[in-house]
Structure 1
Amino acid sequence: MARKASRALTSPWWRGVAALAAGALPALAFPAPAWWWFAYVALVPWILLAASAPTPRRAGLDGWIGGVGFMLAVHHWLLPSLHVFTLLIAALLGLLWWPWGLLVRQLLAGRPSPGRAAAALVVLPSVWLFAELVRSWEGLGGPWGLLGSSQWQVEPALRLVSVGGVWLVSLLIVAVNTVWALLIAVPAARTPAAAGMALTAVAVSAVWVGAPRPERDGTARIALVQAGVFDGEGGAERRFDRQEAQTRALAGRDLDLVVWGESSVGFDLAGRPDLADRIAALSRAVGADILVNVDARRSDRPGIFKSSVLVGPKGPTGERYDKMRLVPFGEYVPARALLGWATSVGKAADEDRIRGGSPVVMPLSDGLTAGPLVCFESAFPDMSRHLTREGARLLLAQSSTSTFQNSWAPAQHASLAAIRAAENGRPMAHATLTGVSAVYGPSGERIGRQLGTDERTAEVYEVPLASGITPYVRIGDWAAHAALAVLAAFCAVEGLRAFRRPQRAGVPGPAHTPRESPVRPAR
């Protein structure tokens, strides 16, 4: 069997299939499967495949094809909406793993020395993180499916997140996978591999013991309103009526805030004062402000905005946040003059939404402050970190995901709130139109129950608040910067070696005189 597999991998086609499958394996660590433990071994087949590549070019190709498999597996739920664009985007982003495949072969092929094995333990995680950093740019789709995000329900990993952000956990996962690959395939490198695993365990334990925990500082009672899917003509009006009824039923629950999902209001409140009055009446009835999300053409400015709008007992309070980071194709079409035809083959935006200008921290009652985000903005670590530094005590994400109801997307999206909460030491509520809605405490722990995509309800949560800031909020993306420094140092060393090799080849060696054949003494 092993011989047949080895012969199959000599075929470029079978090797490509193996790389595609190996790259897709880590997706099983994310929701909905949520096999978080699988993340620590999922990269091993991919690493061993690239290490066995006959040439550097083939190793890079294994990295690229594996990257395509990973992108398709994590984002497969986009296929019904983007169709062929999903494949094109996966092919583009998969190129980011070409250098990873090259370095896997360079450091692990054959019988690597202990020095090369030790270098692999820091270089391979760093080049993986480089790929994650590049694709985290919003124009390339944003940081969805970061490897560290798969650990959203693992308490020790969430402690690491509070120190170095999601980036630190991504580095840890790739390092552990590299150790397993060394232990399996490189007997001579088992000593540095075991030492690396031991050091990792010691470091994680030290963080677990020594990292500061959020200091609990009171509670807030918030309600999430999840209306469900309303398609077809009149859907916006029926959705509003449903949310109005659900919110009115919350009267007498002693609430501090009620949160509706993304696009919960399909009309500009300035142009529809009747709707603003109805929401204000709800605020008076429940005794709390209501954060709605307006997806409509503005009456005071040209264009369509997605905006978090706070409404109090007297109407809109003036606190408004306009979404800053828009979903490519979903809310705008990049280079529309060139790619506008995407609207005819998928569910791309017919008209671009307008970007907001700056984040907003909204003051609520009793000194509570909230930092709103809209939809996939909850995937960006820097946005919630900025809100925390600006004084937000409660992080909010208003989302919809109604297009992707029967997929992994709603659960994946909700899980991101746990990572953001742990990074910032602040509770985070993920309120959606259609599920999955969830609330997480300052350490990333889940509060209450999740609202699944089959539920139409309003749920009240007793949310613990916290004071102080985490090391990640204070220091920032130091783990990402360290990874980039490792890559820079590695490139400098390799460049210096490459520069020296020709010089050595050109230096004449010591003169050698031909040896004379030994003369045997005559007998």
Structure 2
Amino acid sequence: MAPSPAETVQIGVMVDLANQLGSEQQAVLERDIALTRMLAPQQPQLVVWPENELATADDPALRLVIGQLAQALNAFLVADMIWTTPAGRYDTAVLFGPDGVEVGRQAKINVTGDERAQGFVAGQRRFSVYPTTLGTIGLGVCYDRHTPDITRQLTRAGARIVAMPADDDFAANPWFPRAHAADTVLRAVENRVAFAVSTTSGIALVVDPYGRITAESGVNQTTVLIGETFVSAEYTLYMLAGDWFEWLSVSIAGILILAWRPRPS
């Protein structure tokens, strides 16, 4: 691995415990704004909000509020919102720039059964990425980090920072938030990409491209954190080639098992 570049990126992440408190959307919005303002003295360059499914991605009043906050921070801001289209409702990460204008959006691909029951549909596998002054940013939502291919495709498209709003808790399950956090580190290492995750519950993280956790919350604790990372120009063999090593290992193991014969006693 090459030495870490001297130039770094300051990323703000948070846990807002919105679901546990049963808050209405306006209250959730106000809480996230208040938590974000707590980060202001540390001058974050990118802030990621949790997976709160704020309605709606094209509501002018909501977009104005979030845009003005991004302007006040002079930072990029990722909010999770509902994007309603003729094809259905998408759980969507929306990136706003320091000028308060939307840069781009990405609909959640790995939609859960509960979300389908609520009327959400899976986003298209289009893997759009957005060049910024911090580096090219890729977006996803929560469960998208558990499928290795999604982060790999974002990185292949040019992403060097991946930002994902999330909801980790699943009824205070004791191991699930840690499993989510572990997969975040794996995706960063596999693709040599920085990762930022904020969550309604569970664990918020900032991970650098070498897999080092530079900001980590406790489990289910309302928190705001700043993590320092960098943008790597490196690409890994795994990112370029995909899962060939795993399938080759499985194939060799299968051949050895089929060819094995016990020795006579």
TM-score norm. by structure 2 comes to 0.87
More helix by share: 1
Match of 1:446 in 2: 213
Match of 1:279 among 50, 61, 66: 66
Q: Please state whether the residue corresponding to 1:467 is helix, strand or coil.
A: coil
For structure 2, the residue ranges without an aligned partner over 5 or more in a row are none
Distance 1:433 1:492 in 2: 48
Query: Would the alpha carbon gap of residues 363 and 403 (structure 1) be closer, same or farther in structure 2, given more than 3 Å must change?
Result: same
Are 1:360 and 2:144 counterparts?
no
The RMSD of aligned alpha carbons is 2.4
What secondary structure is seen at the aligned counterpart in 2 of 1:398?
Answer: strand
Amino acid at match of 1:409: F
The match for 1:221 among 1, 7, 10 is: 10
Q: Distance in 2 between matches of 1:233 and 1:297?
A: 22
2: CA distance, partners of 1:352 / 1:392? 30
SS at match of 1:466: coil
Partner residue of 2:151? 384
SS in structure 2 opposite 1:410?
helix
Of 392, 396, 400 in structure 1, the residue corresponding to residue 167 of structure 2 is 400
Distance 1:409 1:374 in 2: 16
Which of the two has greater strand per residue?
Answer: 2
Deviations 1:41-90 (A, max 9, x none): xxxxxxxxxxxxxxxxxxxxxxxxxxxxxxxxxxxxxxxxxxxxxxxxxx
1: distance between equivalents of 2:19 and 2:128?
29
Q: Which letter does structure 2 place at the counterpart of 1:444? A: G
Deviation string for 1:379-418 (max 9, x for gaps)?
1112111111211111223211243334211111111111
Deviations 1:259-279 (A, max 9, x none): 00112x420131x31111111
Tell me what 2:241 maps to: 475
Q: Given the alignment of the two structures, is residue 266 of structure 1 paired with residue 54 of structure 2, yes or no?
A: yes
Distance 1:379 1:269, change over 3 A: closer
SS of the aligned residue for 1:461 comes to strand
* Kept in 2: contact 1:230–1:238 (CA 8 A): no
Alignment of 1:87-166 (within 5 A): none
Cα distance in 1 between the residues matched to 2:128 and 2:83: 20
Match of 1:373 among 120, 140, 147: 140
Pairwise mapping of residues 391-470 of structure 1 onto structure 2 (< 5 A)? 391-448=158-215, 450-470=216-236
Listed as ranges, the gaps of 5+ residues in structure 1 are 1-212, 333-348, 498-523
Q: Secondary structure at the residue paired with 1:403?
A: coil
For 2:77 and 2:99, the matched residues in 1 are separated by: 11
Amino acid at match of 1:361: V
Q: Where in structure 2 are the equivalents of 1:343-354 lying within 5 Å?
A: 349=117, 351-354=118-121
Mapped contact 2:92–2:108 kept (Cα < 8 A): yes
One-letter amino acid of the structure 2 residue matched with residue 417 of structure 1: T
CA distance in 1, matches of 2:45, 2:20: 31
Match in the other structure for 1:5: none
CA distance in 2, matches of 1:453, 1:372: 23
Calculate the TM-score normalised by the size of structure 1.
0.46
The higher relative CO (CA closer than 8 Å, separation ≥ 6) is in: 2
1:400–1:386 Cα change, 3 Å: same
CA distance in 1, matches of 2:25, 2:80: 12
Residues 1:275 and 1:215: Cα distance change in structure 2 (over 3 Å): same
Question: 2:110 maps to which residue?
Answer: 325
**CA distance 1:284–1:431, shift in 2 (3 Å):** same
* Higher CA-based Rg: 1
Give the partner amino acid of 1:396: A
Secondary structure of residue in 2 paired with 1:416 = helix
1:485 aligns with 2:251: yes
Identity of aligned residues (%): 27
Change (3 A) 1:392 1:436: same
Counterpart-to-counterpart distance in 2, 1:478 and 1:386: 15
Instruction: Output the CA distance in 1 between the equivalents of 2:98 and 2:77.
Output: 9
Q: Does 1:241 align with 2:30?
A: yes
Cα distance change of structure 1 residues 475 and 273 upon mapping to structure 2, 3 Å threshold: same
Pair 1:398–1:214, CA change in 2 (3 A): farther
Residue type matched to 1:267 in 2?
A: A
